[in-house]
Amino acid sequence: MLSRPHSHLAALRGLRADLAALSLGALAAAALPPVHAIPVLLVSVPGLLALLDGAQTPMEAARRGWWFGLGHHVLGLYWVTEAILFEAARFWWLVPLAVPALAATLAVFIAAACGLARLARPGWPRVLALGGAWVLADLARQFVLTGFPWNPWGSVWEVPGVIGDVFIQPAAWISVHGLTLATLLLAAVPVLGRRWQIGGATLFAVWISVGLIRLHETPPPPTGLNVVLVQGNVAQGQKFDQALAVRIFASYLALSEQGLKQAGNAPAVVIWPETAFPGLLQTDERARQAIEQATAGVPTLVGTVRFDERDRPRNSLFAVVDGGMIAGVYDKWHLVPFGEYVPDWLPLPIMLMPGGGFASGPGPRTLSVPGLPPFGALICYEAIFPGQIVDRDDRPAWLVNVTNDAWFGNSTGPRQHLAAARMRAVEEGLPLLRAANTGISAAFDANGREIGRLGMQQTGTLVVALPSPLPETLFGRLGLWLPGIAGAVALGTGLVAGRIAASG
């Protein structure tokens, strides 16, 4: 059934091959959250392999991989334009350029994987080489030029509900990168022989079994702490409008009181989203006292901007406790390039941000606040970086993710961001509580199971009981070494198999 389309794609040359790769990459984007049309990968991956088989050289294969990546990332990241439109008067010229430029850059990583795969013998060695090279390329784009590991293919399995819960459990051992490797190998099975198809079916069955077994393990007892997630639903254009600051602050206070009434008399904590406080909480003692009065002294985690000793702004999370005191501060360390700062590796300065933007914090850390289990904080963008969210020397008991996705409207962006946060809970074996300004606010247990959510563009509170952590996962202990070794072994095996066949 597949021989004819495979031969047709392999015979394409020049622009026709490029356009075919572009179309296949765009098709593959439908597998990503929130669509989760996973079967499209059974078309796009075999199609890409056919184009690689037809390439005359590794450079030609890399070119076809680049076009595949361009189509894939343009559709997967279209929502970036939403953020630019908020300041269209200044950056209108970026509207037609930003997404294609970002997609073209990320496509280089797929191009590199495809060029390496072309060095392997066609068939299962090339499939294995492509899978391994793809994972190594994904790991590279987590670090190169500050990193942007958005939409790894392992995230396609984060289907809402029980089905997704089952499929994401192996991330506790191999992370989302390992799921990406398994996904690509399974998607390529249709072009291999019956023996490999049986092997793929076996892998799929084992995958499901592992997920079911892990989900049915007896969970640890709950912590006894109620978490009040506050979703203020403040439009991006209003967040820093000083004429609206008092009204915004009053709304957060009222929502906090409302949520605590719902929580009852049990110990509780209130969480506000990223930059929720429309001022400088660091120096505003009256505001901190107002928070303390509204929450009756319950610890409140507030997203806010602060200025450090060098008068540089920092995107921070404050822990306000009884008496209006600040019991802990976390500064975001993985900043968004061009959104929060201008990278210093640019050959020429780009005056998008006077003063260079925000200063970064020291890195992942665990905060110990009176009355709360120790927690790790993730501010917005930081949630997309597997293996880089927890202080390994001081493991927290839960994760707090505060974000402001209002920049991206009611698009796929906030939903893809939520999927990334969910995966971090599974990888680390830690419950994750997420407060988002315009949504989606949600709570996940240490297996990544959703225990509550507030949808997009809703104003309200979500009250949940804080689940307990699981024992430290294998990935939590070994980190990115695991998927890195798996990718290197897959790539090396594919390349060596081709050389052995050639020498034989």
What is the residue whose two structure tokens read 């398994």? Answer: 182
What's CA 138's distance to the chain center, in Å?
A: 12
Answer for the pair 455, 153: CB distance below 8 angstroms, yes or no. no
Q: Which of 61, 59, 57 is nearest to 21 (CA)?
A: 61
Non-local CB neighbours of 184 within 8 Å, separated by 6+ positions: 41, 45, 127, 130, 131, 134, 153
Average pLDDT (67-96) is: 83
Sheet containing 441-444: which strands, arranged edge to edge? 366-367, 375-379, 398-403, 432-436, 441-444, 450-454
User: What's the chain's average pLDDT?
Assistant: 92
Which residues are designated catalytic? Answer: 274, 332, 380
327 pLDDT above the threshold of 50: yes
Q: Which of 38, 24, 32 is nearest to 70 (CA)?
A: 24
Per-residue confidence at 44, pLDDT binned at 50, 70, 90? very high
At residue 24, the pLDDT reads 98
Q: In what helix (H) or strand (E) does residue 166 lie, and over which residues does it extend?
A: helix 162-167
104 pLDDT above the threshold of 90: yes
Answer for the pair 180, 134: CB distance below 8 angstroms, yes or no. yes
Average pLDDT (7-23) is: 94
84-98, 303-317, 344-358: lowest mean pLDDT where? 344-358
Backbone torsions φ then ψ of 338, nearest 5 degrees = 70, -15
Domains of the chain, CATH where assigned: 3-216+480-503 (no CATH), 226-469 (3.60.110.10)
How big is the CA angle at 282 (ends 278 and 284), to the nearest 5 degrees? 70
Dihedral class, residue 162 (left if φ above 0, else alpha if ψ from -120 to 50, else beta) = alpha
Q: Distance between CA atoms of 398 and 407, rounded to whole angstroms?
A: 27
224 pLDDT above the threshold of 60: yes
What is the residue whose two structure tokens read 């969970």? Answer: 219
At residue 336, the pLDDT reads 86
Answer for the pair 205, 186: CB distance below 8 angstroms, yes or no. no
Average pLDDT (290-315) is: 94
**458's tokens:** 């809703």
88-97, 326-335, 446-455: lowest mean pLDDT where? 88-97
13 pLDDT above the threshold of 80: yes
Average pLDDT (263-279) is: 94
What pLDDT digit, counting tens, does each position of 116-135 carry?
999 999 999 999 999 999 99
**190's tokens:** 């249709």
Average pLDDT (66-80) is: 96
Cα-based distances in Å from 471 to 115, 133, 303, 475: 40, 31, 29, 11
7-21, 191-205, 405-419: lowest mean pLDDT where? 191-205
Residue 146: Cβ within 10 Å count: 14
Q: Which of 85, 97, 5 is nearest to 43 (CA)?
A: 5
Q: Distance between CA atoms of 42 and 319, rounded to whole angstroms?
A: 48
Q: What is the DSSP string of 440-504?
A: -EEEE-TT--EEEEE-TT--EEEEEEPPPPPSPPHHHHHTTHHHHHHHHHHHHHHHHHHHHHHH-
Percentage of the residues of the chain whose pLDDT score is greater than 90: 79
Q: Distance between CA atoms of 12 and 25, rounded to whole angstroms?
A: 16
503 pLDDT above the threshold of 50: no
Answer for the pair 6, 46: CB distance below 8 angstroms, yes or no. yes
Q: Which of 475, 399, 352, 394 is nearest to 94 (CA)?
A: 352
At residue 487, the pLDDT reads 97
At residue 97, the pLDDT reads 81
Answer for the pair 24, 46: CB distance below 8 angstroms, yes or no. no
16-25, 233-242, 284-293: lowest mean pLDDT where? 233-242
29-43, 47-61, 77-91, 175-189: lowest mean pLDDT where? 77-91
Q: Distance between CA atoms of 230 and 214, rounded to whole angstroms?
A: 31
Average pLDDT (373-397) is: 96
Dihedral class, residue 402 (left if φ above 0, else alpha if ψ from -120 to 50, else beta) = beta
DSSP 56: S
501 pLDDT above the threshold of 70: no
502 pLDDT above the threshold of 50: no
4-13, 271-280, 381-390, 451-460: lowest mean pLDDT where? 4-13
Q: Distance between CA atoms of 246 and 387, rounded to whole angstroms?
A: 39
At residue 346, the pLDDT reads 58
At residue 504, the pLDDT reads 43
Q: Which of 148, 168, 184 is nearest to 68 (CA)?
A: 184
What pLDDT digit, counting tens, does each position of 150-184 carry?
999 999 999 999 999 999 999 999 999 999 999 99
